[in-house]
Amino acid sequence: MLKWLEYMSEGNPGFLGVSDSIWLSLIKVVLLIMPSLALVPGLIWWERRLLSWMQDRIGPNLSGTFTRKDGKRIFTFGLLQPLLDGVKLFLKEDVTPGGIKKDKAIYFIAPALALFPAFAIGGTLPWGPTVGLDGGPGLIGYLTPLADVEIGLLYVLAISSLGAYGLVLAGYASNNKYSLMGAIRASAQLISYELAMGMALAAIVLATGSLRMSDMVNVQMEAFWGIGGLEWLQNWFIFTPYGFVAAIIFLIALVAETNRAPFDLPEAENELIAGYHTEYSSMKFAVFFMGEYAAMFMLSGVFATVFLGGFNLLPLNFDELAASASGPMVGFFEFLHKTAYWTGPLVFLAKCWGGITFFIWLRATLPRLRYDQLMGLGWKSLLPAAVANFMVVGIWMIGQRLWGTAGGLGAAAAAIAIVVVLYLNIVASSKKANDPLLKRTVDMVDPGSSRTVTMVDTKEA
């Protein structure tokens, strides 16, 4: 198998005159898209199960329960519900709103535009080790990632922003004012939180020195905080001060960009019926939700790749532990190193599933934000914090190059102190400016007088 993949990667003339490297790329595409589509029903089932547990609802837990003739009940734990939903959507009447003759093509294209970016994002994610146990590419290395491009993270940001085009075009082409309002909200929300997301990731790019996703995983496998003697402990970015701040900002922006609760204002049913997809039914309606769950899954993979060590289960380098161990522990760590290589894809899948669980947890816990709160959080809190974090990382790197590790830490501490002082001054000045508004009173012109109501004599009228 390994020799066959190596032969195909060399681009030799292949079947039907098409290069073998192209056939290998098609195999990678199938391995990416088919599991992603197959996971959507499972994600829907998992969301229903978690919400039912958190909100004490028994319906999704007992859906699909059968009773045999002898009275014994057979539980399917709600597994039949996603399958039945799929059958229902296939057989449901496909209603197209009237008055969209000019925009009919856009109306049908919009769901596909909402689904496409999720798969495009997954093409740059390394879901397994790119280096084999013998130092070569290895079996998994030939299959992942689909495209290890040098601008991987920039590509992810560019493609993720395209998801809003499907929502905007759906709301525009539906000939429905509520749908259009949801589309406008989606575009404004994307712009507001894409900036904070980009600045949060810029701090990681600055510390890594590369935009390539596989390089970010490799940097996180280096010594913890760059300290000599700790090569056995991996330097996951979420364990660093700047990486932790960037992870929090990126995670909040991630929830907002996928339009999930509490940032689901483009679909606010109490205000906009169902938002941008109000006029969609049958499988076109289902495609929107497939795109939403696929985007949640892939962007959770981005978070795992950038901040959680990618496909590594534990922040430990077992090969370094084997080199420094003695006796039977050497064989034990070597066994763990080989096991970690083959279980890498499963670990990456589990981290993505954990991201989906976090999305569901937020939906069951937090109420929907008001629109002014959503805008204020993005522009007044997340973006300034992301910019300040980026500046601190830059000053730390300059100080480290000029004066070594101690100098870098001192420069970073000074930068953090300056940021805190500026923030406190801004908060104090803002509070002082709002004091007159907080002390306003309303006086009645004539509090002593009262209104009276005189009944009209209906007989005289």
What secondary structure does DSSP assign to 405-459, as a single string?
HHHHHHHHHHHHHHHHHHHHHHHHHHHHHHHHHHT-----S-TT-----PPP-TT
Q: How confident is the model at residue 63 (pLDDT cuts 50, 70, 90)?
A: low
> According to the model, what pLDDT value does residue 201 have?
94
Residue 30: the pLDDT is 81
Beta bridge partners of 269: none
**At residue 361, does pLDDT exceed 80?**
yes
CB 244 within 8 A of CB 333: no
At residue 205, the pLDDT reads 93
pLDDT at 132 over 90: no
Could you tell me how many residues make up the chain? 461
Contact indicator for 377, 359 with CB cutoff of 8 Å: no
pLDDT in tens, 104-131: 888 888 888 888 888 888 888 998 888 8
pTM of the model: 0.86
**pLDDT of 354 strictly over 90:** yes
Q: Which backbone phi and psi does 136 adopt, to 5 degrees?
A: -85, -170
Choose between 167 and 24: higher pLDDT.
Answer: 167
Quote the CA–CA distance of 151 and 174 in Å, as a whole number. Answer: 36
* Tokens standing for residue 289: 């939700």
Q: How many CB atoms lie within 10 A of CB 370?
A: 10
Count Cβ atoms below 10 Å from residue 133 Cβ, excluding itself: 14
Contacts of 204 (CB under 8 A, 6+ apart): 153, 216, 237, 243, 246, 306, 307
- pLDDT at position 247, please? 93
Nearest one of 99, 113, 92, 275 to 173, comparing CA atoms: 99
How does residue 459 score in pLDDT terms, banded at 50, 70 and 90? low
What SS3 state is found at 287? helix
Q: Residue 336 has which token pair?
A: 């763990």
